[in-house]
Every structure is written in structure tokens, then in C-alpha cells.
């Protein structure tokens, strides 16, 4: 599975780009299999409200009934089964969810019935007690007392029944929440169906360099990083273990330069910069969908019941947890800079050299809250901003439409940008943007208030700069025969104006 998680005109680079790289590609379309939900009208007024405390006390998700639209689940379960199958996940979970939903409705009906009976009995006892108090005839008082005693005995039995029924409903609620929470988001019908290698190439931008024609063998990023004293994996392993590193000297400067470039571009495109917490509580991690299929890659601090985030997507998504947003304020766009921690379970033996696949890296992540009917256009805008950043760095890359079996649980559709890595002779993922529709907002209870009422917002995310992978692409694509590294024009102001990195 891939691991990183409107439209603006991409930043162009002609006269100022690295002359070793050039050219453009073309876009391709793709059709999908599933029907989409009808778009809802945008709401236009309302106030932002906090609905509940965001504290650690909420130990589990509540009211997950509409994470997967219950109307769709009940009326068209085959559609949900098809989505599960297309993801490579168990379609039988749909039947488990349907049974749990049926059990919950039955439990609710049973509780309502016994509670109604209890209320009815209470209405009888009061008047009888009033009559008993006023009665003067001993025979009448005895008869009334017997009736009150009988009703009181029945009331005691009903109280026990109500308590038991309430507990049964609570258990049915929890079982239904768990069953519904196990279902992934419905995939977008336009997403290609298949596994990791069944993606569709939408566009290729830039032409990979022909190093043989230039007369030298390219060095890989680690060799270049060591040559320029920018990357130190030996000491990283000594201090922290495998897949850790130090960025030193110009390597550290490159990180600062890339992050500043990314944040400035994000702000120019209307994003609010954010430095979010890198530790979150279970509701934040679960609400964004990272404790399902992705749980094995999450670091957990057991003693504190907290999680290290694998992406700023998590704290950014949870930023408005339990809030009702003003529809007129949407979209709300944030660019978060944070460390990212990933266990990389299942990646044994993959990308062990250098800093391409590591347990920790820093990243600038874009996140958007928008009206549901604008999510598809917002997704294209996020992709456009990712391309703008890569264009500014003069790196050859391609855009792919990720196949259904390679989507995260929250994503309905995802586009990746993959940079060319010369020493590997292939494109590798450097950015990813996902449309999560209303899946996360329902779990996190983030809604918008407009003229037509209250409804969940759509959430979208997109990588702007995953620092280590961008450094890999920069060093390898912009290296020169003498070992120096060309600095793209856009990056120079953040590196003191230097045009190349020299040993």
C-alpha cells in the first residue's frame, strides 16, 4: 500500500529550469463502477459552535450510525459490498453491519416499549394514591391499597426490565458502532478498480535526464548526501536504530528551505499555517480512520494512551472535532508542519538504503474542510497545488489515479505524484492527495450550519512536501558530473542565493 498520504495553473519553469530536464506529458481519463451520492446544496449561514468537550474522556467513537450512510447500507447493500470488494476488503462485513443495525433497531424498539409501559404505570399509580389519601371508608381504602400495592410491585419489576433493556440497547449500540466503523469509505466511481499496480497514469511532466548521454553514472541520494555531509544514516542508526538519520549542514538547510518554500506557497494559495501537536488521543486517531487497516504502522504510547501521528492530517482533521462550522466560512484550509512517525510494518527489506523510507520524517500537509458538493473540485485544486510545488523544484514526475485496492480506509479517491528517481530507474511517490468525502467528518462530528440545516462537511488532504523524499528527488535529479547539485531557482532565496551545492 502506498504510504504518504478547483484547480490552479501549475507553476511554469522554462527559462529558469534545469536545462537537463524538460518536456510534458498528457492526461488520461478512467471510469469506475459505483454510483455516487447525490450532491447536497451548499448551506449559506450559521455560526461555529463547539458541541462537546474534546477531552480525553471520550474513549470511543459515538453515533457511528451514519459513517456509512444507513440509507445506502439498508437500501443498496450491494453497492457497499462492491466497494468493499473493490478495496480488497471483506464484503461480509456489510452483512455483519446490517445484522448489527437490525439488532440495534430491535433493542431501541424493545426499550421504547418497556419504557412506555413504565410511564403508563406511573400515570395510574399517582391518581390511585390520591384517591387512597382522600378515602374514608375502610373497605374502599383496603381495595385501593391493594391496587396501589399491585401496581407498585409491577413498577418494581418494570424498573428492572427498563434497566436491563437500557443495558441491552447500550450493548447493541456499541456492537453496531463497531460493525459500521469496520466499513471503509465508499470508493469514488471514477477510481480505477484493482490492486497497487492497477493505477492509471494521468499525466507525465518533465523528461528524465539521460545520464549516459551526459557521460556519467548518476550517484544515488545517499552517496551524494554523504559527499556533501548532508545525510548521516550511520549515526542515526547508532542513536535510534535502522531507518533513522541525521540531516546535517546543507541537508538541514535543505529541509528549512523546502519547508519555507512550501509554507509560503500554501499561504499564497489561501492556507493558514499551523504547527499541530504530534501526539493525539484515541478519538482523534480513530476518527480519521488510522486505527483500522493502518493500525500496524502507528506508534502508541501505552502508558499515556496517546498516539504519535504518521501525518499532520490527523491533528488537522481533529482540529474542528465536535464543532459546527459556519457554511459561509468554508472552505477552511490549513497547512500543517509536523514530524511524522511510522512503524513501516510489512516493509522489511524495502528501501533500506538512505532516507526514502524511514520511521520519522517532517512534512507539510494541506487539509481542507469544504461543502460536500465542492469536494471533487477541491480535490483537483489540492492536486494542482502539489504539482505547482514540484514544478517549482524542476523535478520530472507523473500523476497517477490510485486504484481502489490501494486506497486508505478514509479515502474515496486518491491521486499520487511520483518523482523520477534516476538510480532506481522508476517513479516513486512523493505526494498524495485524498478526497475523504464525509467519512472523517461524521466520525469526528464536524458539521456545517447553513440555510438548509446542519450536515457533515467534506474533508480532503494533500501532501505538499514530504521532506526526505523531496531531498532524495532533488539530489538525484539535479546532480552534475562533478558531484555538485543544481539548486532550482525557486529554492535559491531560501538557501542564501546559492546556485549549486558543492563539496
Q: Using CA atoms of 67, 70, 75, 81 in order, give the dihedral in degrees to the nearest 10.
A: 30
Residue 189 contacts residue 32 (beta carbons within 8 Å) = yes
Q: What is the crossing angle of helices 92-134 and 138-181, to 10°?
A: 160
Give, in order, the Cα–Cα distances in Å from 334 to each of 46, 171, 196, 313: 21, 38, 29, 10
Say how far apart CA 79 and CA 3 lie, in whole Å.
27
Q: Hey, what's the cell of 138?
A: 375502610
Catalytic choice (87, 357, 413, 443)? 357
User: How many other C-beta atoms are found inside a 10 Å radius of the C-beta of residue 479?
Assistant: 27
Catalytic choice (432, 441, 447, 449)? 432
Catalytic choice (54, 342, 445, 447)? 342
The 8-class DSSP code of residue 456 comes to: E
The span from the first CA to the last CA of the chain, in angstroms, equals 37
Q: Hey, what's the cell of 10?
A: 501549475
On the CB side of 417, CA atoms within 13 Å amount to 28
Q: Is 50 a catalytic residue?
A: no
Catalytic choice (429, 434, 443, 445)? 429
Say how far apart CA 230 and CA 475 lie, in whole Å.
11
Catalytic choice (87, 443, 447, 469)? 469
Q: Is 432 a catalytic residue?
A: yes
Q: Is 48 a catalytic residue?
A: no
Name which of 499, 472, 465, 496 is nearest 485 in CA terms.
499
DSSP string, 311-341: STHHHHHHTTTTEEEEGGG--EEEEEEEEEE
Q: Which residues pair with 421 in a beta bridge?
A: 426
So which residues are the catalytic ones? 342, 357, 429, 432, 469
Amino acid at each position: 500500500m502506498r504510504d504518504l498520504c478547483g484547480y490552479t495553473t501549475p507553476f511554469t519553469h522554462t527559462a529558469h529550469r534545469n536545462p537537463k530536464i524538460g518536456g510534458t506529458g498528457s492526461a488520461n481519463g478512467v471510469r469506475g463502477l459505483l454510483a455516487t451520492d447525490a450532491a447536497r446544496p451548499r448551506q449559506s449561514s450559521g455560526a461555529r459552535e463547539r458541541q462537546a468537550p474534546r477531552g480525553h474522556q471520550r474513549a470511543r467513537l459515538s453515533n457511528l450510525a451514519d459513517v456509512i450512510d444507513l440509507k445506502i447500507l439498508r437500501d443498496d447493500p450491494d453497492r457497499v459490498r462492491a466497494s468493499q470488494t473493490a478495496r480488497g476488503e471483506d464484503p461480509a462485513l456489510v452483512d455483519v453491519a446490517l445484522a448489527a443495525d437490525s439488532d440495534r433497531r430491535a433493542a431501541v424498539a424493545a426499550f421504547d416499549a418497556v419504557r412506555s409501559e413504565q410511564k403508563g404505570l406511573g400515570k395510574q399509580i399517582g391518581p390511585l394514591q390520591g384517591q387512597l389519601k382522600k378515602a374514608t371508608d375502610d373497605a374502599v381504602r383496603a381495595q385501593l391499597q391493594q391496587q396501589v400495592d399491585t401496581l407498585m410491585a409491577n413498577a418494581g419489576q418494570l424498573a428492572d426490565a427498563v434497566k436491563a433493556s437500557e443495558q441491552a440497547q447500550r450493548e447493541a449500540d456499541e456492537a453496531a458502532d463497531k460493525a459500521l466503523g469496520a466499513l471503509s469509505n465508499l470508493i469514488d466511481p471514477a477510481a480505477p478498480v484493482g490492486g497497487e499496480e492497477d493505477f492509471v497514469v494521468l499525466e507525465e511532466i518533465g523528461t528524465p535526464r539521460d545520464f549516459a548521454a551526459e557521460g556519467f553514472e548518476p550517484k544515488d541520494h545517499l552517496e551524494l548526501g554523504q559527499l556533501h555531509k548532508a545525510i548521516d544514516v550511520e549515526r542515526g542508526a547508532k542513536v535510534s536504530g535502522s531507518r533513522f538519520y541525521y540531516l546535517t549542514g546543507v541537508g538541514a538547510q535543505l529541509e528549512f528551505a523546502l519547508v519555507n518554500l512550501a509554507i509560503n506557497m500554501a499561504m499564497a494559495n489561501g492556507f493558514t499555517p499551523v504547527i499541530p501537536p504530534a501526539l493525539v488521543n484515541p478519538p482523534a486517531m480513530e476518527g480519521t480512520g488510522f486505527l483500522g487497516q493502518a493500525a500496524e504502522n502507528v506508534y502508541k504510547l501505552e502508558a499515556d494512551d496517546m498516539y504519535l501521528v504518521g501525518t499532520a492530517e490527523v491533528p488537522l482533521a481533529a482540529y474542528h472535532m465536535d464543532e459546527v462550522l459556519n457554511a459561509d466560512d468554508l472552505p477552511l484550509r490549513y497547512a500543517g508542519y509536523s514530524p511524522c512517525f511510522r512503524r513501516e510494518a510489512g516493509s522489511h527489506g524495502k528501501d533500506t538504503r538512505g532516507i526514502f523510507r524511514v520511521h520519522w520524517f517532517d512534512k507539510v500537509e494541506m487539509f481542507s474542510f469544504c461543502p460536500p458538493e465542492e469536494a471533487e473540485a477541491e480535490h483537483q485544486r489540492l492536486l494542482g497545488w502539489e504539482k505547482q510545488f514540484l514544478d517549482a523544484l524542476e523535478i520530472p514526475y507523473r500523476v497517477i489515479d490510485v486504484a481502489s485496492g490501494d486506497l486508505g480506509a478514509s479515502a474515496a479517491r486518491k491521486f499520487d505524484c511520483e518523482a523520477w528517481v534516476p538510480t532506481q530507474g522508476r517513479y516513486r511517490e512523493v505526494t498524495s492527495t485524498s478526497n475523504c468525502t464525509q467519512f472523517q467528518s461524521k466520525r469526528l462530528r464536524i458539521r456545517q450550519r447553513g440555510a438548509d440545516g446542519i450536515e457533515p462537511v467534506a474533508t480532503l488532504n494533500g501532501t505538499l512536501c514530504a521532506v526526505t523524499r523531496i531531498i532524495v528527488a532533488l539530489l538525484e535529479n539535479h546532480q552534475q558530473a562533478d558531484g555538485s547539485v543544481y539548486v532550482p531557482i525557486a529554492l535559491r532565496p531560501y538557501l542564501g542565493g546559492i546556485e549549486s551545492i558543492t563539496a
